[in-house]
Structure 1
Amino acid sequence: MNGITAQHHLHLLSGKTGIVFGYASRFLFFNKEDSSRWTDDEKLKFLLFETLLLVYIQKNGTPPTLKADFIDSLYTYYSKYNSKSIQSWLLFWVKEDKITRLENIFSKRIDVSKGIFDNRWWFKTMSNVFVYLDVILFDRFLNDDDHEALRSYSEYAYNSLIAILLAAGSDGLVDEKEQSMFNVFLSSANLEGEYKENALYHLKHGAGYASFTDLPKNDKLFCRFLLDLSLLTIFGNHEVEETEMEFINGLSRELELEDYDMEESMAIIEHFLLYSDIKNSFLSNKNVYEKVYGSLSSRWTKVILRNKDKLAVELSQSKELVGLIKKSATQELTSEEKEKVKMQFMDIVKSMPALAIFMLPGGAILLPLILKVLPTLIPSAFRDNEVDK
């Protein structure tokens, strides 16, 4: 695989902003500081709008008529929603302009009652995780010219719930906490009719791969989302057991994903836990923090080892980057230096997708791992950049 596809780039950015987890940890285009007085729901609504806009720009660029064309496309897309509640909102607000109607649709999409849920981090953070399906299906709507894409929402949401149930039971038991978590996801999924009944049936009687409907394995964005949800469910217990990792490997094969897909998804989730606004509520225990951080460092080392030959060649062409990498091994980089490293690495990883996790926040703090893995691969011509200990 050469380069990063638009879907791959979208998935990485969605992990960075938090929308894949149903949480707005940062925005794509807007300055987060300007939203300090916004509620979490308001932030998520705005991030959903931004992410849908990104999908549109990926497909159509930025023509002079971008605003009107995007709003028209978005309105056409949501008019195909087979949810009765969304359809009623479209009809109720028929006298309002399209932007107002769309804003009310977003409000309805982010409408999970949090008062009935536990106060733990996964209930707060992931109660709106299924809004990301709107992004996945909008991508299909535009790129596959599938104007009925949103009618697949219930099937996509149902399959997502099956993945969650499989992950919850991968250690041999769906405990009370995991059942509560499933109810949060079920509420977020906004399922109706037969799909909801089948999801509840499998919660009671168990699920297997045969419980999935025909999975659209050609929809890489959706398959990555199933993997993300499964990993989130497992990480909700803090401890990842051997049987759970065996399940993740098996699910990856079932979804026809590559090893780097799983590694990236785990890195994205770990980064989210370590660097998002909710880190304090999740990582209140020092031992938990060290386990998550250690797991992330170990995974990055494996990714770098797999790409070390190609990475050494690419690094040899960037004298400034090599100097900053070596500097990071002995002292903290400045904000400007970290940004410079990130931008230069983004150019390199276009030819090495497995290293695209460097695009995520906090990547610069792990640069010393490169020195650990590539101590002899840095050409001698660049040793004068090394910082003396």
Structure 2
Amino acid sequence: MNPSAPGWIQKHFPNFLSYLEKYPMDDEAFYKALGSIGFIYGHSVDTLIVSTSKQLKWTTQEKTKINLFDALSFTYYDTIESATQTDCIQSIVNFYLLLDKRENYFINIKIGSDSPQSRLEKIIHQRVQTNESTLQKNFSHLITNALAYIDILSFEHYLLTQEDPYHYAKNLESILTQSIWVALRQKEEKHLYNQLLIKLFESSVRYNTLVKETHTTIDQIDLSSIQEPLEKKYLLDLCSLSLWDDQTVDPHEKVFLMDLCKSLELNENSYQLSITAVKDFLKAHSEDISYLNYSNPVKHFYNQTTATVKNLISRNSKRLAQEISESGTLVKLLTQSTVRDLSKEERKLVKNQLLDICKSIPSLAIFLLPGGGILLPLLIKFIPKMLPSAFNENLED
């Protein structure tokens, strides 16, 4: 079975149902299983059907596709009596189309003659394609796989209530990202690097693109809607993961996690289980997930986008030099930005002029995508270093 070829759901679905018959479990046990293979943490190292996954050597993206489908299917069969494969697939398609109807944001599947199964394969492919080249990706989807379990909780809510799942997904995502932002701010030593990590995380949201976060403590976040056990566990697990970037949780960060548990009405044992699960997963799979290496997974995307920006500037250096040199004001401000902080108005002017330049250079159109603007500071940082020496001399003059 090839998860990247049409018809993979038809081949895989019966095998998954056989797995559930052989290993019956409740939703908490299934959540734990998803955590053990990395789906909860945003990087699937395997699938629940272990032998098949190893035999075919699926890519991380393919494993994530399978795990997302399995989690959605499990949720349907665990919630609906007398469930059938046909009804399950159609219900998942309907669920995603309701979400997409609100935003038209990440599912570009046109209504047509495709079967529900074919449409679902396309939806799942688009939903998890975060491991492709950043040149082809919307920056606002950089770490969406780490938030993929929102889909599962939202689907369950949809099945139980038959309500439009958009509002539930938006509220849950808002609470998760607010909490993770606060968690990332717990670092005792904050650097520009950490601030950019926060911005990258902010840019990954699907339903809350206009949210501007100012919270500094967990008690400033309204957690009253987080009532279900798996909602609480998922929130705690993502916060634990976001803090695990130096192989330990310092006292300040522990206080934050304990306060989070208290707000969620969880005991200290929940905190220990979450931290241990994150630690064990990263330790067991550090060789399989080279970019993790006991560090915050967001750093991978920071490093990846930094390399991308360097390459873009290098490949378009002559065109960039020409375009920038035609604006004396921009040259002046770029020069001054290396020795002083620009004012709010000056930063806005630089941003607007650089975006205009990006419009004229097709390869730089990525900065025009949602979320791409937050990486303009990287563009500004590397321009003097990557452009021809003659241009640098003009900057010095």
TM-score (norm 1): 0.60
Distance 2:105 2:175 in 1: 21
> Is the aligned partner of 1:135 residue 2:135?
no
Unaligned runs of 5+ in 1: 118-123, 289-389
Q: Aligned partner of 1:110: which letter?
A: V
Aligned-partner Cα distance in 2 for 1:238–1:102:
39
Residue 180 of structure 2 aligns with an amino acid whose one-letter code is I
Report the AA paired with residue 21 of structure 1.
Y
Q: Deviations over 1:21-48 (max 9, x none)?
A: 1111221236212331x33222211110
**Corresponding residue for 2:103?**
84
Aligned residue type for 1:158: S
Show the counterpart of 1:35. Answer: 56
Cα distance, 1:15 vs structure 2: 0.8
Q: Over residues 160-212 of structure 1, what are the superposed CA-to-partner deviations in whole Å (9 max), with x where a residue is unaligned? A: 11111111112345433333333443344323xxx3222xx32xx45333653
- For 1:138 and 1:71, how far apart are their aligned partners in 2? 12
Q: How far, CA to CA, are the matches of 2:98 and 2:60 in structure 1?
A: 27
2:274 maps to which residue? Answer: 265
Taking the aligned partners of 1:53 and 1:253, their CA distance within structure 2 comes to: 33
Structure 1: distance between partners of 2:272 and 2:133: 35
Q: 1:217 to 1:79 in 2, by over 3 A?
A: same
Q: 1:108 aligns with which of 104, 122, 126?
A: 126
Q: Would the aligned equivalents of 2:144 and 2:205 in 1 still touch at CA under 8 Å?
A: no
Task: Give structure 2 stretches of 5+ with no counterpart.
Answer: 1-23, 136-140, 296-397
How many residue pairs were aligned?
265
AA in 2 matched with 1:33: K
Whole-angstrom distance in 2 between the partners of 1:160 and 1:66: 32
One-letter code aligned to 1:19: F
Residue 213 of structure 1: how far off its partner (Å): 4.3
Amino acid at match of 2:194: E
Give the deviation of 1:115 after TM superposition.
4.8
Q: How does 1:242-321 map to 2 (within 5 A)?
A: 242-276=251-285, 278=287, 281=290
Quick one: distance in 2 between partners of 1:280 and 1:67? 34
On the 8 A contact 2:28/2:230 being kept in 1, the answer is: yes
Percent identity between the two aligned chains:
19
The two structures have a TM-score, normalised by structure 2, of: 0.59
- Structure-2 change in CA distance of 1:88 and 1:168 (3 Å): closer
Within 5 Å, give how 1:219-238 maps onto structure 2. Answer: 219-238=228-247
- Asked whether the equivalents of residues 127 and 185 of structure 1 are also in contact (C-alpha less than 8 Å), the reply is no
Distance 1:182 1:127, change over 3 A: farther
Q: How does 1:1-389 map to 2 (within 5 A)?
A: 6-29=26-49, 31-36=52-57, 38-60=58-80, 63=82, 66-82=84-100, 83-85=102-104, 89-90=108-109, 92-112=110-130, 115=133, 128-142=145-159, 144-172=160-188, 174-191=190-207, 195-198=208-211, 201-202=212-213, 205-209=214-218, 211-213=220-222, 215-276=224-285, 278=287, 281=290
1:75–1:102 Cα contact (<8 Å) kept: yes
Higher relative contact order (CA 8 A, sep 6+): 1
